[in-house]
Amino acid sequence: MNKWNQSYGFLLGKILQQMEGKFAEGLIPFRINARQYGVLLFIQENPNSSQKDISENLQIDRTTMVSHIDYLEGLGFVERTKNPNDRRSYSLMITEKGNEVVDSRWEFLINTESEVLAPLNQQERQLLKDFLVKIWRSL
């Protein structure tokens, strides 16, 4: 067995590279990348979150988060409003236009993942997901 084939990081990275590359193709018309889609999805599921909340939950550094939100706001996908409980922060809401992007690309995301994970049966896919969630939650 080759050394690269023994590295979890290398193998996970290559699988992620395939998924993200294929998914990115479907995001081109919306002028966003997979990470920005993830931010939109988080805001859709957690309305009125702050940039700090999103940054911590998605493990994106604050500077990068600010640029993502600036960009998504510029596209009309999110809106910032002053947080009534903390004047130093903003609450984020997804717009109707942002909802359309998230909803229209969700099935494409699922299909992309299915395509990449085609060598695994349903039980193996669920096991993989369970293991990945377990690892992520422990970080």
Q: Model's pTM, two decimal places?
A: 0.86
4 pLDDT more than 70: yes
Residues 40, 98 contacting (CB under 8 angstroms): yes
- At 5-59, the pLDDT tens digits run 889 999 999 999 999 999 999 999 999 999 999 999 999 999 999 999 999 999 9
Q: Residue 86's pLDDT is what?
A: 79
Q: State the Cα–Cα distance between residues 64 and 70, nearest whole angstrom.
A: 10
Structural domains in the chain, CATH included, are: 4-138 (1.10.10.10)
Q: Single out the residue of 101, 127, 95 nearest to residue 23, CA to CA.
A: 101
For residue range 76-126, what is the model confidence (pLDDT) as tens digits?
999 999 887 777 888 999 999 999 999 999 999 999 999 999 999 999 999
Q: What pLDDT shows up at residue 83?
A: 81
For residue 18, what are the CA distances in angstroms to 71, 91, 92? 25, 34, 31
